[in-house]
Amino acid sequence: MNTAAYVYIPDELRAKIPALYATERNPDATAWVRLFTPDSSWTWYVVEYDGDDTCFGYVEGHAKELGYFLLSDIACARGRLGLPVERDLFFTPRPLFEVRARHERRGT
């Protein structure tokens, strides 16, 4: 297993996050993990996970979109001040539509 997975997806969540493609017909899919750059505006929400490196979820970076991303790429990413991506330890899993609506209201 990819070592970045241990940093970003703790054991207690790993078993709960659906496999890739498991929620594609579910409009109420859950965002399980929030990752963010503390010194820039990028945020990733993990909705599905292959158990190794690939995730599907909601990404806010240059655009707001659903897509696939690799934990190994995120582990290498740095913000403007060189800080690494962190997992939001206080994030509570919630329906993806709530996450998207909250960001739309804030305009971020």
pLDDT along the chain (108 residues), means of 10: 74 93 91 95 96 94 92 92 95 94 67
Q: Which two tokens stand for residue 101?
A: 């609506």
Q: What is the pTM of this model?
A: 0.90
Residue 51 phi, psi (nearest 5): 85, -5
pLDDT at 5 (0 to 100): 66
pLDDT at 10 (0 to 100): 87
pLDDT at 3 (0 to 100): 66
DSSP bridge partners of 104: none
Distances 27 to 38, 47, 80, 84 between C-alpha atoms, Å: 29, 12, 35, 31
pLDDT at 19 (0 to 100): 97
